[in-house]
Amino acid sequence: MKRIVVIAEIRHGHLRNVSLEALTAARKMAAGQTDCEIVACVFGEHPEMADVLAEYGADRVIFIRNGQLASYTTAAYRQALLQVLDVLDPDAVVAGHTAMGKDLMPRVAATYRAGLVSDCTQIENGNGELTFVRPIYAGKAFEKRTITGDKLFVTVRPNNIPAEPARGRGAVETMDVEVKDLRAVVKEVVRKTAEGVDLSEAKIIVSGGRGVKSAEGFAPLRELASVLGAAVGASRGACDAGYCDYSMQIGQTGKVVTPDLYIACGISGAIQHLAGMSNSKVIVAINTDPEANIFSVADYGIVGDLFEVVPLLTEEFRKIVGKL
Amino acid sequence: MNIIVIMKQTFGTEEKIVLKDGQVSDDNVEFVINPYDEFAVEEAIRQKETHGGEVTVVTVGLPRAEQALRTALAMGADKAVLIDGTDVPADEFVVSNILHAYLSKRPFDLILGGNLSVDNGAGQVAVRLAELLDIPQLTTITKLDISGGIAHAERNVEGDVESVECPLPLLATAQQGLNEPRYPSLPGIMKAKKKPLERVTVQELGLDQEALAPKTNITERQLPPKKQAGKVLMGEIADQAKELARLLSEEAKVI
């Protein structure tokens, strides 16, 4: 492998942590090979981000320049990326398995008639033989895949390949691209995640099920989340009951998450929910029913009413977090 | 309006996964329409009810996928196509090539599909197909209105809502929240038995070797490591909360 392109993604003005994880993934793919260049590509000009990309292993940082790239659209980013890849001719392209990665990478892989391993959680490199581990059935099982062909495309799941600093050369360039004939036009974006932390990248998730009983029932969970800097999720039961938006749903339908800490409040633990969260590093279950299935995957459990337990926990965490 | 739905038969989401000889066993498994594809089928039928036209559901799968197609016909789709992929080693690259070979010769205004399948979970096939057909895509939509040949859609982008307009033809993928899929009615189920179901084999589509050679190979499948039984705390609730906070901070070190 001579060159790997990593797509560095910016969301709401910030470089995403998963992009640093993608840089580490690229370094794992290049391990054992001399002279493999890692190129971070950023859509738009963000010179302030060059340093951190270099710190995590980028030998080159390319800012892709065109007025139409301020925010993501499939067609503009696709055209821009194809022009960059035509110039760079990399052996592999790595991106985060994010809304953008999922929307863009299959399309670009299809253009090159290339293989794409989506939602990779681990990369094994045995003397240059690359094996990619990814969840199937939302994490009820895992499969290992190898890729053939001249170009490999990979998306990595956030929170699974820890970003490790390793200084790259960090040479900064800009590349102008042409963008034309855009058919889809974005009229408006309503940010609903402004105050919250994104579920897929959250280190801590506080999640509610039918036990929260109403939309207002999420209030103590939100308070706990704000003390911990956590995201708030939900089970399908809570979404179906109308207590919260479907964008919060965790499970085999919904988001699959792997935070460091998952606090399940009033969630019974249906198989389809467990599929979406049981690979979290530490799981806490709070439920009135001692027989609830959620306890079978929990590292720590409290049998009790979430409306009593959660506020007490919030106070305890406030003391601990305050001490730090 | 000519609407195509690309869909897949999958395991029900309450199924446990059992490995047998390195393969995922489908013994005694309940099969369903992939839940995200079910939103796509429902949306297609609703669009047809508003604008007229025809809904064709297409799948690449094993002969047992006929059951899922019949369910879609019972919901209100008009025609079904089963592209028999028995003995065809297929990854997302190959499946999208197969769908492209079939659909490129047919007229359509709108292609709908799920934003991912709950089994493989890659979410590649629909997007690859849009590229191969050279049409725009709107992924993870939660709302779709069509007027004057233009789609007005809302996309769920990691929780944010993006309003977007795009002229037909296009491909859109369904996200949860798009609609509430109907249950097939009894008359619907009776009618479905008589609706046309075309059977095609992959070989009949005339794809070349390159298009049928997977770009990725599955070398191994495994179950996640079994979790040890956890610690259920005891005592007064206030003491349990204190103890849990301590354990998370000192033992698990996640706070």
Inter-chain CB proximity A245 and B177 less than 8 Å:
yes
d(CA A130, CA A135): 17
Q: Give yes or no for residue A195 having a pLDDT over 60.
A: no
Q: Give yes or no for residue A261 having a pLDDT over 90.
A: yes
| Contact (Cβ atoms closer than 8 angstroms) between residue A267 and residue A211 | yes
Three-class secondary structure of residue B24 per DSSP: strand
Contact list, A16 vs chain B (CB under 8 Å): none
Query: Residues A222-239: what's their mean pLDDT?
Result: 95
Query: Residues A291-313: what's their mean pLDDT?
Result: 96
**pLDDT value of residue B192:** 97
CA distance A58 to chain B (A): 27
Question: Residue A257's closest CA among A239, A231, A237?
Answer: A231
- At residue A100, φ and ψ (nearest 5 deg) are -70, -45
**pLDDT value of residue B159:** 82
| Contact (Cβ atoms closer than 8 angstroms) between residue A79 and residue A58 | no
Query: Residues B105-126: what's their mean pLDDT?
Result: 97
Query: Residues A318-322: what's their mean pLDDT?
Result: 90
For B148, counting Cβ atoms within 10 Å of its Cβ (0-12 exposed, 13-18 middle, 19+ buried), the class is exposed
Q: Where are the alpha helices (DSSP H) in chain A?
A: 17-30, 50-55, 74-88, 99-111, 219-228, 236-240, 271-277, 306-323
d(CA B140, CA B195): 30
Q: Give yes or no for residue A194 having a pLDDT over 60.
A: no
The amino acid present at B24, given as its one-letter code, is V
Q: pLDDT > 70: what percent of chain B?
A: 100
Q: Which two tokens stand for residue B202?
A: 């992959």
CA distance A105 to chain B (A): 8
Smallest Cβ–Cβ distance between A106 and the set B128, B165, B220 belongs to: B128
Predicted structure pTM score: 0.95
Inter-chain CB proximity B244 and A300 less than 8 Å:
yes
Confidence of residue A243 (pLDDT cuts 50, 70, 90): very high
> How large is the angle between the packed helices B125-133 and B92-103, nearest 10 degrees?
40
d(CA B82, CA B62): 8
Q: Give yes or no for residue A192 having a pLDDT over 80.
A: no
Inter-chain CB proximity A144 and B210 less than 8 Å:
no
Please state, rounded to an integer, the average pLDDT across all residues of chain A: 95
**pLDDT value of residue A47:** 94
Count A/B contacts: CB-CB distance under 8 Å: 269
Q: Where are the alpha helices (DSSP H) in chain B?
A: 35-51, 66-75, 92-103, 125-133, 186-192, 209-212, 237-246
Contact list, A237 vs chain B (CB under 8 Å): none
Query: Residues B113-131: what's their mean pLDDT?
Result: 97
Bond preceding residue B184 cis, omega within 30 of 0: no
Inter-chain CB proximity B14 and A270 less than 8 Å:
yes
Contact list, B24 vs chain A (CB under 8 Å): 136-137, 141
For A17, counting Cβ atoms within 10 Å of its Cβ (0-12 exposed, 13-18 middle, 19+ buried), the class is middle
Contact list, B247 vs chain A (CB under 8 Å): 300
Query: Residues B99-123: what's their mean pLDDT?
Result: 97
Three-class secondary structure of residue B179 per DSSP: coil
CA distance A158 to chain B (A): 13
Smallest Cβ–Cβ distance between B221 and the set A109, A142, A295 belongs to: A142
Inter-chain CB proximity B122 and A118 less than 8 Å:
yes
Confidence of residue A193 (pLDDT cuts 50, 70, 90): low
Query: Which of A17, A74, A108 is the best substitution to test chain B (most B C-beta atoms within 10 A)?
Result: A74
d(CA B177, CA A127): 46
pLDDT per position as a tens digit, A38-92: 999 999 999 999 999 999 999 999 999 999 999 999 999 999 999 999 999 999 9
Smallest Cβ–Cβ distance between A118 and the set B124, B164, B214 belongs to: B124
Inter-chain CB proximity B139 and A245 less than 8 Å:
no
Q: CA of B180: which chain A residue's CA is closest? A: A240
Domains of chain A, start order: 3-176 (3.40.50.620), 199-323 (3.40.50.1220)
Confidence of residue B229 (pLDDT cuts 50, 70, 90): confident
Q: Give yes or no for residue A132 having a pLDDT over 70.
A: yes
Query: Residues B73-81: what's their mean pLDDT?
Result: 98
Q: What is the ipTM of this complex?
A: 0.95
d(CA B22, CA A29): 26
Confidence of residue A196 (pLDDT cuts 50, 70, 90): low
Inter-chain CB proximity B232 and A295 less than 8 Å:
yes
